[in-house]
Amino acid sequence: MNTLLLATEATKGIDPWIAICSLATVAITVGMGFWTAGKSKSAGDFFVAGRSVSVGWNASAISGEYLSAASFMGVAGMVMATGYDALWYPVCYACGYLFLLLFIAGPLRRFGAYTIPDFAEGRYDSPMFRKIAVCFVLFIGFFYTMPQMKGAGTTLAYIFPGLPYWAGVVVVGAVITLNVSLGGMKGITLVQAFQYWLKVFAITVPIFVLASLVGHYQQHLAANKTSQETVAAAPAGIERKALPAKAPKDEAWIAPFGKLTTKALDASIVAAKTPEAKAELEANKKPYSLLYTYSLIIALVCGTAGLPHILVRFYTNPDGVAAKRTTMWVMILIGVFYVFPPVYGVIGRSLTPELYDAVGAKGTDKVVLELPTLLAGRDHPLLGSILSGITCAGAFAAFMSTFSGLLVSMSSALAHDIYGRMLKPGASPEQRLKAFKWSALIVGLVAVGLGSQVEALEINFMVGQAFAIAAASYFPLLFMSVWWRGMTMRGAATGMLVGGLSALASITLTSISDVAVAKAKKIADAAELSAYWADHPLAKTIADYWVAHPLARILCEQPAIWAVPLSIILMIVVSKATEATVPADVRMKMLVLHAPEALGLKQEYIKEHEGLGGH
Amino acid sequence: MREPTSPTPVDIHSDAFLARMMRDQLKLSIACALCFVVALVALPLLNYFQPAFMAQRIFGFTLTWLILGVLFFPFVWVISYVFIKRSIALENAEAQAAQDGQTK
């Protein structure tokens, strides 16, 4: 009875086109999963797709994996909510690959490992280091999984208005876990490549149709006046709805150093008691914003080069040159994509300003899904439905493909590094394969559990945190290990641990107080509010500290600017202090990393005779 | 698959060979990275010190929006294309040099 009620409730007000497109995406994903299940046989297929993925397929697959819910929905929502500063997200998401290409992609592939922990152990001959590296794979992976899950919950709740948030999390979690355990890396490579093209289709087609009917990107941008202009230079025929009070003003929205970067200081200014204190804080606004911007850039650029689920994909290339070519194509494919989400944000500001009033799942994050439905009210009901069906399908593809990539990298960490290397080194290939499937199930369950808890947090913000942790741990590790012969295990481990954990700690501090403050804002009654704060003394202390020290708050919210250099300096200092423990065969290791394959120095780290070789 | 080059020649195992190879590749990488980093550092600075200049309209965009939202992508593609070309040429030259050393 209950489920029936839920079902009838859920079918009310559902657009058939949206439902059909979303279901088709899920059905194709599952179908491809079963189809590839027959093709993935060996452990090599499951972990690194047999190391035989061609440049075109791999570039599409990496791009498909990378363009997550944050890219598809979060970027548009953030541009709409905060304006110019949010553009740094798509730009750095795409351009971070340049660092990966310049310093890491080729050498990492040549080393011939299965996972990043493999590389960590192989480079320093230290099983201990593998354990540390595995922990970070799981840490970063789960941090990155949560926003994907939020995207899933949000989208499903949007399509089926009666469904609770957690339903989407469970459905997507189940589908992808099934897919990954069926086909492993080889299976999802195909699915992700398909999903890339689906996403590009889903983000471009609706916006071109929409723009031709309601006005173009630059026309809507021109409707926002800058501080230099006295009146908005909106071209004729561009419609603009009145902005609600909550929306940022034009001048602040279109210019750099706006709401996104001044949040901490704004809170302090509101709390400042004297006009002098206010004025002093106002004067700090711009320099602090600049600092925030740089820290964000470092986090995103270095973080991209340190995301384990992306790095593991380079192992599926046949050789180092292919790895480099793949990276270049990835940059082109994702760059083309990233031009478009901000367009939704800009047009959304003109046409769907009511989203500013809602928060979370119902707010600006859903502008990509909401915008096409506008056409329905403009004498194009069918077109509107079809286009929003397409964007929903793209959103589904977005969090499904990223989550499947995360699931593979975390399952590999569990099955290959923990089970196959630590618990049972003599495991047969069949046992490892079984372990992979079980790991996928475990990770899938944990991810669903975590995902159902994060409804209140912003998608793009959570992703930014995952990037900051990766930037302060894996990026320094890989960069230094590849290019500096003098690195020792202790140096690498100290730098990675201190950098990564301090980034994690400072981000956690900001999250604790943010969640509490968000809850407190919903309480209208003063007595209830003080009771709430009395119950949460830690969050209260932290929140008060942030108000008093906005600079500390910025440095904790965006820790990359100090955490990345800290990590690198520690690596150098500790390595110098433990110089005697530099691996004896470091020259050979460096040769394998840097010499072209044609020299025949290539040695697969995991040998054929272990029954895992992909060739 | 690939022809194994056997036996491994002595000279490619020398420190000098490794040092030169790493230096050449790192030089190329750093040169390319510098182009990118300069642009990344300069854009916020320009926004900071020249807000009026960066806010001027070009085809409806503000200058800074046009750069960050559109032009930055092709700029990075060019860097990566140049890097790939040079880096593969460098690898081929190294392989050639090493094999020449082997036959002598």
Give SS3 for B57. strand
Task: Write down the pTM of the prediction.
Answer: 0.85
Q: Identify the CA nearest to A506 among candidates A465, A539, A477.
A: A465
Q: Which of B31, B35, B33, B76 minimizes the C-alpha distance to A333?
A: B76
| Helix extents (H) in A452-599 | 459-483, 489-522, 526-535, 537-548, 550-557, 560-577, 586-594
Buried b / exposed e over A400-410, threshold 16 CB at 10 Å, is bbbbbbbbbbb
Residue of B nearest to A603 (CA): B4
| Chain A contact set for B40 (CB, 8 A) | 95, 297, 301
Whether residues A103 and B33 touch (CB distance < 8 A) is answered with: yes
Return the half-sphere exposure (C-beta side, CA atoms, 13 A cut-off) of residue B77. 13
- 3-class DSSP assignment, residue A12: coil
Which among B18, B56, B70 is the nearest to A587, CB-wise? B18
Structure tokens at A255: 């210019």
Chain A positions in Cβ-Cβ contact with residue B26 (cut-off 8 Å):
483
What residues in B contact A325, CB-CB < 8 Å? 84
Of B36, B52, B59, the CB nearest to A228: B52
Which residues does chain B have within 8 Å of residue A588's beta carbon, measured at their own beta carbons?
Answer: 13
Sign of the Cα torsion A560, A564, A566, A567 reads: positive
* Contact of A396 with A369, CB cutoff 8 Å: no
Question: Which of A98, A286, A599 lies at the smallest CB-CB distance from B79?
Answer: A98
**Tokens at A366, concatenated:** 């859903």
Question: Is B29 in the A-facing interface, judged by CB distances under 8 Å?
Answer: yes
Residue of B nearest to A287 (CA): B48
- Residue in A closest to B5 by C-alpha: A600
Out of B21, B48, B59, the one facing A290 most closely (by C-beta) is B48
C-alpha B68/C-alpha A548 separation (Å) is 33
- For the cut 50, the answer to whether the pLDDT of residue B4 exceeds it is no
Q: What is the DSSP string of A214-243?
A: H--HHHHHHTSPPTT-SS--PPTT---PPP
Q: Do A601 and B8 touch (CB under 8 A)?
A: yes
Measured in angstroms, the CA of A497 and the nearest CA of chain B are apart by 26
pLDDT digits (tens, 9 = 90+) for B33-92: 999 999 999 998 988 888 888 778 888 788 888 888 889 999 999 999 999 889 888 888
Comparing alpha-carbon positions, the chain A residue that sits nearest to B102 is: A599
**Disruptive mutation site among A98, A257, A480, A590 for chain B (greatest number of B CBs within 10 Å):** A98
CB contacts < 8 A (A, B): 156
Q: Supply A67's token pair.
A: 């363009």
A489-522 and A127-159 helices cross at what angle (nearest 10)?
30
Interface of B with A in 37-56 (CB under 8 A): 40-41, 44-45, 47-48, 51-52, 54-56
From the first residue on, what is the mean pLDDT of each consecutive set of 10 residues in chain A (615 residues)?
44 70 82 74 64 78 84 85 88 87 83 78 84 85 85 78 82 85 77 88 89 82 76 68 78 81 78 79 83 90 84 76 84 91 89 78 78 77 82 84 85 81 77 84 90 75 81 90 89 92 88 79 80 82 83 87 94 91 80 74 44 37
Q: How far is A586 from chain B, CA to nearest CA, in Å?
A: 11
